[in-house]
Amino acid sequence: MRLDYLTIFPDYLAPLQLSLPGKAVASGLLDVHVHDLRQWTHDRHRTVDDTPYGGGAGMVLKPEPFGEAFDELGLEGATVVVTTPSGEPFTQALAHELATRERLVFACGRYEGIDQRVLDHARTVTEVREVSIGDYVLNGGEVAALAITEAVVRLLPGFMGNAASLVEESHEGGLLEHPVYTKPASWRGHDVPPVLLSGDHGAIAAWRHDQAVRRTAERRPDLAHPSQVLDGIEVRLAQ
């Protein structure tokens, strides 16, 4: 997978060199390119923004630099991901969907956002997804691009050493992950649930599922299925 990032703060994406195991880049699994949007400006001040049409506070990122960047990079076969609080929610399902793409081009907004015509024009040549990592506002889209990148690339075949660990994670299958424990069996008066020491894999699996269902019902009723089976009793949750 090729990953391109368009940003006015390229140093903000330096963690990509740290957070993505070098082996993923060295092996060719990932091909990462961070671009300073200002390289597509032509004035002495390297201007990337201007005041909003219609008035209002703040500045808007101009269309020309993005347009020239897209022209130079080429968008064929790419999915443009625009990180914005006004985007569709980023979910594990969307992470899986984006992990199927050959190339992602992240457009990181700043200020009041990117001129909408940039996205409208890009949509005439390729897929564009405006994506939000949560209902809150950051100073820019770079942090969201990092978060989305991490969630997506870890799903790529060969990225995780043990692909099996992906199966029982939170949000896979619509449930939050069950609690996890490791040695020692007793710590500061807190004991590991005995079922986990029983060696009864069926009972362990059932306990883990019940814990996941319980956690999901308690913490994320929005994810909970209309009817959950807890302790063998069908529990109907409030709609």
Ligand X SMILES: NC(=S)c1ccno1
SS3 73: helix
CA nearest 82: which of 51, 112, 114? Answer: 114
CA distances from 42 to 8, 45, 46, 64, 232 (A): 15, 8, 6, 10, 68
Q: Return the number of other C-beta atoms located less than 10 Å from residue 99's C-beta.
A: 17
Tokens describing residue 108: 């990181």
Cβ distance to ligand X smaller for residue 36 or 142? 142
- Minimum gap (Å) between residue 82 Cβ and ligand X: 9
Q: Could you list the residues that contact ligand X (CB under 6 A)? A: 83-85, 132-134, 136-138, 140-141, 144
**What is residue 192's DSSP assignment?**
P
What are the beta bridge partners of residue 191? Answer: 186
Cβ distance to ligand X smaller for residue 83 or 211? 83
SS3 162: coil
- Minimum gap (Å) between residue 133 Cβ and ligand X: 4
Q: Distance from first CA to last CA of the chain, Å, rounded? A: 41
The set of residues, in sequence order, having a beta carbon less than 8 Å from that of 199 and lying 6+ positions away, is none
- Minimum gap (Å) between residue 138 Cβ and ligand X: 4
- Minimum gap (Å) between residue 118 Cβ and ligand X: 15
Cβ distance to ligand X smaller for residue 10 or 140? 140
Cβ distance to ligand X smaller for residue 171 or 215? 171
Q: Return the number of other C-beta atoms located less than 10 Å from residue 74's C-beta.
A: 13
- Minimum gap (Å) between residue 80 Cβ and ligand X: 15
- Minimum gap (Å) between residue 13 Cβ and ligand X: 14
C-alpha to C-alpha distance for 49 and 93, rounded to whole angstroms: 34
Cβ distance to ligand X smaller for residue 108 or 217? 108
Cβ distance to ligand X smaller for residue 6 or 212? 6
